[in-house]
Structures are given as C-alpha cells and as structure tokens.
Amino acid sequence: QAKQQGREGLAIYENHLERRATYRSQVETRMRLALEQGAFELHYQPLVRTQDTNRIAGAEALLRWHDKELGTIPPDEFIDVAEETGLIVPLGDWVLEQACRDLAAWRAEGLHIPRVSVNVSGHQLLDDRLPRTLAQALKRHGLPPTAIELEITETTLMEREKGSLPLLQQLRDLGVGIAVDDFGTGYSSLSKIKHLPVTVLKIDRSFIQDIFTDDNDKAIIIAIVAMAHQLQLRTVAEGVETPEQLAFLRDNGCDLSQGYLHSRPCSATALRDLLRAAPRDQT
C-alpha cells in the first residue's frame, strides 16, 4: 500500500517536473521571438525625495512582457528562464539601450531626470563586454555616465563577489552608480559592503512592509540608514505604500522613496507626463 502510494507520488512529481520543463522551453522559444520582434517593453517607476516627494530623483526601469500565446508573464518568472538559457545577455543589452534611448528623449525635450536605474542580473556580470556595451550606449545617446545607475541584488553581489569584483570596478570606473538591490535579505556583512564599489543601498521591501508590526524591522532600517551614511552611500526605500511608512523613513533620514504610494511603474509616455508636471530636481 505504502509502496503503491510512493509510486503514485513519484509519478505525480515526475509529471510536475515534465510540465515545468515544457513550460520553460515554451517561454524560452517565445522569448527569443519577442526579442526579435521587439515585444519587450520598459516601464518606469519614479524615485522621490523623502523630504519633498514632488521631486523626482530618478526612475527604475522594469521589464514588461505580454506574449500573445502565454499572456503576461511577470519579470521574476521570465528573468529566471533568461538567466538559465543565457538569453539574459541580449535581453540585458536591449534594456540598457532602451533605457538610454528613453532618457535621452526626455532630456532632448528639456525634461530633467537625474538618473535611470537599470537592473542587472548575475549572469550579465559574467560577461566582460558589459562595460563596453554600456559605455557605447551612453556615448550613442550623448549621456553622462552619472545618468545611469545599475542595480544588483545583494544576494548576487555576495555570490559573485570574488569573480565579479574587477568587472564591477570597471563599471564603477566608467562613472555609473551602483546600487545594492533588495538590501538586508542577503546576509552580507558590513565589512564586505565597505569594500565593494557601490553608491546606493536599496532597503528591501520586506522591511518597509513590517515597519509598524515588527520592532526589529524598525531597528534594522535605522541601522541600515546610519551605516549607509557613514559609508557615504545614499539610501532608497522600496515598496513604500503608506504615508506612515514614508513619514518614518523621512524622520529617520532615508534619502529616497519608491513605491505604490508615489506611483506604480508606468509606461515611458506616462513617466514623461509625470516629469512635465514635477519641479526640477538638481541632483
């Protein structure tokens, strides 16, 4: 009886794995096509100053993909497949190019936005061509390097620390900013962060969400902000959804805020409209 059940369980599990593998290869095929056909889109979410939330201090570029057969697939899902298949390299190149193009178009219109942040995944940090690709994209669009900030998750930074350090340093030497994304979830030690060429810490959404339910999270945020400022790093809070969360962050010295409270990620056109309406931010 037990043996019978075990066999059935295994069959269900194998079936599950098979379906998953099929789905993955479907996603891969459709993703190749989407790259060729230009079906990916970049949306943007503004970053505002906690001291004056009318000022837009930057925007994060976020990939969006709606596929005719598979429907809308969230980035967390297709980025995984892109990483496993190596498609992340051409996709990542496209993201950098598109972000530079959008930013240059806004600037050409006289709209000022200090910088655009672009997410970079672990696989992209294995590619020696990245600094050149980025430098060329900046040059092509007449942008200073300070206009781009690269976001790398804390976990990726810690995993790839040794191998990627020279590449990270090359990117930093170009003059682009480097943000540690989802900070606080990756168990990195202060001494490690200190030796990395980074300019910004983005406090993970999970801490912001629990500010008023978990005293530890309050303490952690206060400690991260203090530590960041000691190290001359700017701080960004992600996933800010309520005025109370914003007030806490502002009162405790966090520099920038990003989240649904201010704006959901929106199309490039919608961001342009927000920029037109916002007072100019000089930083």
Interface contacts to Mg ion, rule CB under 5 A = 119, 151, 181-182, 238
Of 74 and 142, which CB lies nearer to ligand C2E in the complex structure?
A: 74
CA distance linking residue 248 with residue 186, whole number of Å: 23
Residue 239 near which of ligand C2E, Mg ion, none (CB within 5-8 Å, type-dependent): ligand C2E
Q: How far is CA 142 from CA 101, 103, 135, 136, in A?
A: 10, 10, 10, 10
Taking CB under 6 A as the binding criterion, the range among 29-37, 72-80, 137-145, 169-177 that sits at the site for ligand C2E is: 72-80
By the 8 A CB rule, do 146 and 175 touch? yes
Residue 75 interacts with which of Mg ion, ligand C2E, none, CB < 5 to 8 Å by class: ligand C2E
Choice from 181, 217, 255, 281 touching ligand C2E (CB under 6 A): 181
Site string for ligand C2E, 26-65 (x = CB under 6 A): -------------------x----------------xx--
Catalog residues that contact ligand C2E under the rule CB under 6 A: 45, 62-63, 74-76, 79, 95, 119-121, 151, 181-182, 205, 238-241, 259-260, 265
